[in-house]
Structure 1
Amino acid sequence: MIEALVKNRSYTQKSASILGAAMAGLLLAAIQASSDGAVSTRVVATVNDTAISAYQVTQRIKLLKILRPRLVSGSRKQQQKAALQDLIDEKLKTEEARKLKLLLPNERVEEIISKTPGLKNLATRLKSQGLSSRLVNSYIATRMSWNRILSNKYPNQSVTDEQVAARTAQFRRDLQKQAAEHTVSIYELLQITLPVDKQATPELTNEVARSRLIEADDITRRFKSCSSARKATRGVFNVRIGKRIPADPRKMPKQMRQTLDRAGPGSAFVAGVTADRSAVNIMAYCGKKRIAPEAPKITPDMVKQRLEDERFENLGKSYLRDLAKNAFIEYKDASLRK
């Protein structure tokens, strides 16, 4: 009986120990979960009576990395500041739209998104990155409502023909400068191929290849320019002259560039027999050609729209500054103040 009691007591102590460890683990997990939740719901700022949480800042960073990556390209703290400021601006715009009865309802926003391919693709892309439908719709609704406010407040924002002409000329000068900065000199090469017919034995094939090498050497001696390549190959059976090949000198071996520069345009070299013994190749140097990136087409209508958008944007910034002055904005986290 005593042994049974001792055994039972030992078992009870062991069970209590295991149970205690389990309870401690659960308690620690609960504390951790509570801590994580506190961080995500921690209020970092208020705009009038609307709170902005740390979680909203994190979500806004994700959004801006997709839509406006340059705005959140700095350190983590800089990203948080930029995201918080964007959220503050959004709250001010939303309140103003609600006050003026110009805030688009969610149902209307969803309808517009579904009927506008560009917005529909944008919403799909944002949601695929883990952003909620509510956040995406709110972001789009705020911007659409803000545009309605500005359109009502500043209905006539036309620009003069003189302003359009001056900005068009400036754009074209800038594009020419950029093109000059990115212009590169490329080498133009021409490949001439002398096929080697496969013979009954490898030895005979090698003999034909040697004969073709002699013919190739004769061609390089007669070669004067790529435009007269056909003349240099006259009298040689079965010759294929390819198209001119642009070669970026930045991607060429240094020794190859030096060889071409020493030989100069109008020179040709026997490149050798291909690995499968099916052809003898000649590489000819046609010369250098300067290539500039293709400049985008600039039209007066495009410039006019750009000028009107800029004026609209500047008026919007001024309007937003006035809203911020009259609002009660409190930073709960002083380190996030811009």
Structure 2
Amino acid sequence: MIPNTMFPQLPRMDSVGQTSATRRRRMHIPSIRCPGRPLAALTLLAALVMAAAAPALASRVLLKVNDVPVTNFDITQQLKINGLLGGPRTRQAALRQLVDNVVLEREAKRQGITIRDIHVDRTIDGMAKSFGGLPRLKQLLRKRGVRYDAFRRHVRGLILFRAVTARLGTRIKVAPSKEEIERRYRKILTDPRLKPVTAWRLRQVTLAVRKKGKPGTVRTPRKIVVWNLRNIDLPVENVAPVMREQLFQARAIESQQIKSRYRGCASIKQATAGLFNVRVSGIIQADPRLIPGPVKQAMREAGTTKLLGPVKTRKGIRLIAFCGAAKTRPSVKVPDVAVFRRIQDAQIIMRRFRGCATLPKAAHGVRGARVSDYIDADPRKLPRQLRVALAKSGGRKLIGPVRTPRGIQLFAFCGKRKIVPPKPDRKIVARMVQAEAFQKVREKVMRKLRQKAYIEIRDKSVRLN
């Protein structure tokens, strides 16, 4: 038996007898310089280091078994294979499987056992039947990121194990008793995940949004009633303090002249003709809900044929003309125009919604709207605010719009459903118990074979046992 060990790494010598480290110290290594932008330089350097480190980590040799390297990438592939075939899910177990495959190769060679490619192909064909055929199996392997050559090595290891144990005279015959299978079956039935649960049936609408939009000004979708107003100002400016009050009185008299001539907004130009320094504003759209009550009442009494005022301000005398009401879509400033547009689309869907069955129809015609199928959700795992809102909606209206990493989402409550998980099949439980017993026997056999192998550990974090 050769004990596990790791030889010290000797420095590599170049042609003139100097180590590479010595030569590097004598070399001038230029640094990245970005005047005025040290953060940009650090970001660039970090990106280069990460890009170079990714393949290095994957191909890092963790250990060698009989001079055959085992890398991080090999462990990742083995874990994916185990996830597909139902093997162990820990890195330590996957590493042990890879070590065992190398050990079995050497033991088979010592015993004169030859496994041809045709044997591996036949075994894979037999396994592929449970996946719907070989093309379907290869498709699943590609989808899970498993290389086909790694899968072939795994299958070859299974064949080698049976061949080696048969040559050694070890009988791998595992037949668990009916009592043991029944005991495991009863234990599985006590799993809380197999108890009936009441699920909420939900549907959601997703409106994709770009990660970062731009601020801007947009018009609201709904029209509101506004009052069209115009200000008539008679300013008092550039006057000595002693004359200021007299000028205010003079401007107030002029405002009375304007009021006497006024016959409506169209007559403002004629009403102010001949008066010095009169300023008339353009149309001002005011929300009547924001106008103080007394002012609103005075405007209603004045109507469109009389002016409101005069009102003394800091800069002079002001008259207010009410030019009637109108419906318009006001403009608002928003921090993200794209998000605002998607919220408008969501509000269109909300107005059309008449129940979960009508959700696809409500979203029809809205650009990029994706409606999900019915989703069975555990209400205990939903966010509290969403759970309360869904319960109050009763399926009569959509909840939202909600900003999520996916975009703008709407949620519909479609009722409740009791889900009874299916009971496990006794045949599946029997195979599971048999597989566990087989794994124990396999580990017992492989532990003896591993003692004959030369294992050189390269990474201190590696643990085989």
TM range (shorter): 0.3 to 0.5
Which structure: greater strand fraction?
2
Q: Normalized against structure 2, the TM-score is what?
A: 0.36
Higher relative contact order at CA 8 Å, sep ≥6: structure 1 or structure 2? Answer: 2
Flag the structure with higher helix content: 1
TM-score, normalization: structure 1?
A: 0.47
